[in-house]
Amino acid sequence: MQKRVVRWQTIRPKQSRFEQNAGIPPEAVATIAAKSLYLYMGPEGLSGSNQSPGIAGADGLVVNIAKCPAGQGPELHSHARTIETFMTLRGCFEITWGDGGDHMVRLEEFDMISVPPRVMRAFRNCGTEDALLLVLIQGANQDLSSDVQYQPALGEKLASEFGDEVRHKIEGMGWRFDAELAQGRTRAEA
């Protein structure tokens, strides 16, 4: 059972593994993702950003904790085939959705929202101190590591700030910059 225990004090954020294993600077990942993202549990054998979880768990579920300083969080992105569910553990988060992030809900501690596939979404710490967000991703194993899509402009921004090589390394982790928008239609009621 000791192999099935993950302790907050010992788990390393994904960003440190990205730097060590793929040469991706943590600042580049923080441009598009939570400042610190901790992979607690996921199925064995996943690649990309979901490899080496703290606990090898059941198929179809990845469990992360996002730690964000005040005002920080990922840019708008979508998951093409997986469901992403957020629950605030400490602090507060604004969850936005729609092609331009036109819709918003504020989650206080222990509030939850589940975002279906193909809906652009983002989250941001709306408090004044570090906040923690439980992030659950559900879907087929083959989709858990290569399902995140950002708008092309964000990929261009990342390349201009950190270089094309870093952008390509991030794409190698399964994150893409080719999200197609609904051309003015949002899935606000999804």
In a domain, 6, yes or no: no
In a domain, 9, yes or no: no
The CA distances from residue 14 to 49, 53, 176, in Å, are 7, 9, 17
The CA distances from residue 22 to 32, 49, 138, 165, in Å, are 16, 11, 25, 11
In a domain, 114, yes or no: yes
Contacts of 4 (CB under 8 A, 6+ apart): 55
How many folded domains does the chain comprise? 1
| 145, pLDDT greater than 80 | no
Q: What are the φ and ψ backbone dihedral angles of 100, each rounded to 5 degrees?
A: -110, 15
C-alpha span between 159 and 167 (Å, rounded):
6
In a domain, 161, yes or no: yes
**Which residues make beta-bridge pairs with 78?**
149
Note whether 107 and 135 are within 8 A (CB).
Answer: no
Hey, how many other C-beta atoms are within 10 angstroms of the C-beta on 59?
A: 12
pLDDT at 177: 92
CATH no. for residue 97?
Answer: 2.60.120.10
Find the domain containing 58 and state its range.
17-176
Contacts of 142 (CB under 8 A, 6+ apart): none
pLDDT bucket at 139, cuts 50 / 70 / 90:
very high
**Which residues make beta-bridge pairs with 148?**
79, 175
pLDDT at 22: 81
pLDDT bucket at 129, cuts 50 / 70 / 90:
very high
In a domain, 10, yes or no: no
Max Cα distance, the chain (Å): 50
| 15, pLDDT greater than 70 | yes
pLDDT at 14: 80
pLDDT in tens, 47-81: 766 677 889 999 999 999 999 999 999 999 999 99
Contacts of 133 (CB under 8 A, 6+ apart): 34, 65, 66, 68, 86, 87, 88, 89, 93, 123
pLDDT at 181: 61
| 29, pLDDT greater than 70 | yes
Note whether 66 and 34 are within 8 A (CB).
Answer: yes
In a domain, 70, yes or no: yes
**Which residues make beta-bridge pairs with 165?**
none
| 185, pLDDT greater than 80 | no
In a domain, 167, yes or no: yes
pLDDT at 68: 96
pLDDT at 184: 37
In a domain, 32, yes or no: yes
| 109, pLDDT greater than 80 | yes
% residues pLDDT > 90 (the chain): 57
pLDDT bucket at 146, cuts 50 / 70 / 90:
confident
